[in-house]
Amino acid sequence: MDDTRGLGLSRRGMLAASAATATVAAGTTPAGVLAAPARVPVPGKVPVRFSVNGKSAELSLDTRTTLLDALREHLALTGTKKGCDHGQCGACTVIVNGTRINSCLSLAVQHMGDEVTTIEGLGTPEDLHPMQAAFVKHDGYQCGYCTPGQICSAVSVLKEIEEGIPSHVTDDLEGEMRPTNMEMRERMSGNICRCGAYSNIAEAMAEVAGAEA
C-alpha cells in the first residue's frame, strides 16, 4: 500500500467516507425511523493515476469512486459493466496487474500505479482477441451485459490454470493442471450469466484452451 502515502489521506478520513455508504444501506431496512447520523466530513478529491489498456490515465476523483465507476463514468470505458455494484455478479471483472478482480469492490484510489486491462484492451470489433472471437463463434452470450466480464474472467482462468493455481475442484494438487470442463466451470462461477449461455461459454473456452495447449 506504499502508493497511498502521497494521497494526503488519513485512515480516519477513509473510514468516515465509507460510513456514508453504510448509512445508505441502513436506510433501506424496514426499521422505520432512524436516528440522525453523525455529521459526515465531506470527502475530498484526490489525484489518481494508473494505466488502462496501456495508456496512462490521470484523474481527480472523489475518494468514494470505485475503480468500476472511474472506468465507466470518468474514462467513458463502458465495456466494463455494473450488474450489482456489490461483488456478487462478476460483470465488472477487469484484469489488474495480471489478476482478475471485481472492479466494483475496490476504490480507484487503491490502484495508484496499477496496470488495468479492460475488455476494450483485449480486442476491438475489427481485431478480436481469440477469446472474443470464440465467444462470437460459439454464441457464448445473449444480451451481452455480462459478456465483457465473462471474457476477462475466461482469459484469466486459462492463465491461472496454465500457472498451476489450484481450485476447489482440482483433483491432484501436485499434478499438471489441465483446463477440464469442470475446472473451467468452477473458476468461472463468479460470473453470472442470467441469459444462461454457460454451455456455450464452456465450449468457447475449450476451443481457446485447446488452441493454446
Partner 1 sequence: MEFTAPAGRNLFDSSKVVGKSTQRIDGPLKTTGTAPYAYERHDVAANQAYGYIVGSAIAKGRITAMDLSEARAAPGVIAIVAAPETEPVGKGMSNNAPLFGGRDIAHYHQAIACVVAETFEQARAAAGLIRTTYARADGRFDLPEAAPQAPLAKTGGGKPDKKTLGDFDAAYAAAPVKFDGRYTTPDETHAMMEPHATIASWEGDKLTLWTSNQMIQWGKESMGKILGIDPENVRLDSPYIGGGFGGKLFIRSDAVLAALAAKAAKRPVKITLQRPLVANNTTHRHATIQRVRIGAQNDGRITAIAHENWSGNLNGEDGENGTLQTPKLYAGANRLTANYIATLDLPEGNAMRAPGEAVGHLALEAAMDELAEKLGMDPIELRIRNEPEMVPGSPDKKFSERNLVRCLREGAERFGWSRRSAKPGTVREGDWLIGMGVAAGYRGGPTQESGARVSLAKDGGLKVETDMTDIGTGSYTIIAQTAAESLGVPLEKVSVVLGDSRFPASSGSGGQWGAASSTAGVYAACVELRRKIGEKLGFAGDDAVFENGRIRAGGKDMALTEAGAISAEGSISFGDFKSGYDVGTYAAHFCEIAVDAYTGETRIRRMLAVCDAGRILNPLSARSQVIGAMVMAAGAALMEELAVDTRFGFFVNHDLAGYEVPVHADIPHQEVVFLDTLDDIVSPLKAKGVGELGICGPGAAVANAIYNATGIRVRDYPLTLDKYLDRLPEPV
User: CB of 105: closest distance to partner 1 in angstroms?
Assistant: 12
User: CB of 2: closest distance to partner 1 in angstroms?
Assistant: 25
| Of 104 and 112, CB closest to partner 1 | 104
Q: DSSP letter at 83? A: S
Residue from 79, 71, 137 nearest 104 by CA: 71
| Of 112 and 157, CB closest to partner 1 | 157
Q: DSSP letter at 142? A: S
| Of 5 and 168, CB closest to partner 1 | 168
| Of 2 and 210, CB closest to partner 1 | 210
Residue 192 has which C-alpha cell? 453470472
- Whole-number Å distance between alpha carbons of 157 and 131: 12
User: CB of 129: closest distance to partner 1 in angstroms?
Assistant: 8
User: CB of 100: closest distance to partner 1 in angstroms?
Assistant: 14
DSSP string over 151-196: HHHHHHHHHHHHTT---TT-S-SSS-----HHHHHHHTTTS--TT-
